[in-house]
Amino acid sequence: MSKRLPPKLAAHPSVRAVLARGEGSPPEVIDADWLRELCLSAGADDAAAVSLDHPDLAGERPHAVAALPGAKSLVSLVLRMNRDDVRTPARSVANLEFHRSGELINDAARTVVQALQDAGHRALNPSATFPMEMDRFPGRIWVVAHKTVAVAAGMGAMGIHRNVIHPKFGNFVLLATLIVDAEVSAHGEPLDYNPCLECKLCVAACPVGAISKSGEFDFMACSTHNYREFMSGFTEWVETVADSDDGADFRSRVTDSENASMWQSLAFKPNYKAAYCMAVCPAGEDVLGPYLEDRSNFMATVLKPLQDKVENLYITPGSPAKAYAEKRFPHKPVKEVSGGYRARKKTEEP
Ligand code: B12
Ligand code: SF4
Q: 304-341, pLDDT tens digit by residue?
A: 999 999 999 999 999 999 999 999 999 999 999 987 77
Alpha-carbon span 170 to 285, nearest angstrom? 7
Per-residue pLDDT tens digits for 269-295:
999 999 999 999 999 999 999 999 999
What local confidence, expressed as pLDDT, does residue 350 receive? Answer: 46
Is 104 within 8 Å of 79 (Cβ atoms)?
Answer: yes
Categorize the per-residue pLDDT at 343 as very low, low, confident or very high, splitting at 50, 70 and 90.
low
Query: Ligand 2: distance of its center to the CA of 304 in Å?
Result: 16
Instruction: Give the pLDDT band of residue 27 (cuts 50, 70, 90).
Output: confident
Quick check: 2 pLDDT over 70?
no
Residue 1: the pLDDT is 55
Q: Residue 346 has what pLDDT?
A: 47
> Per residue in 170-203, pLDDT tens?
999 999 999 999 999 999 999 999 999 999 999 9
- pLDDT above 60: residue 161: yes
Cα 280 to middle of ligand 1, angstroms: 17
**Mean pLDDT across the chain:** 95
What number does the ligand 2 atom closest to the CA of 205 have?
A: 1
Q: Note the pLDDT of residue 340.
A: 73
Query: How far apart, in whole angstroms, are the C-alpha atoms of residue 87 and residue 85?
Result: 6
pLDDT at 349 over 90: no
Walk me through the domains of the chain, giving residue ranges and CATH numbers.
25-184 (3.40.109), 201-227+272-336 (no CATH)
Question: Could you tell which of 87, 165, 202 is best to mutate to test the pocket of ligand 2, judged by most ligand atoms within 8 Å of the CB?
Answer: 202
Q: At what angle do helices 256-267 and 231-243 cross, to 10 degrees?
A: 130
Distance 160 CA to ligand 2 centre (A): 6
* Pocket flag, ligand 2, residue 47 (CB < 6 Å): no
User: Which residue minimizes the CA distance to atom 67 of ligand 1?
Assistant: 275
Position 22 scores a pLDDT of 82
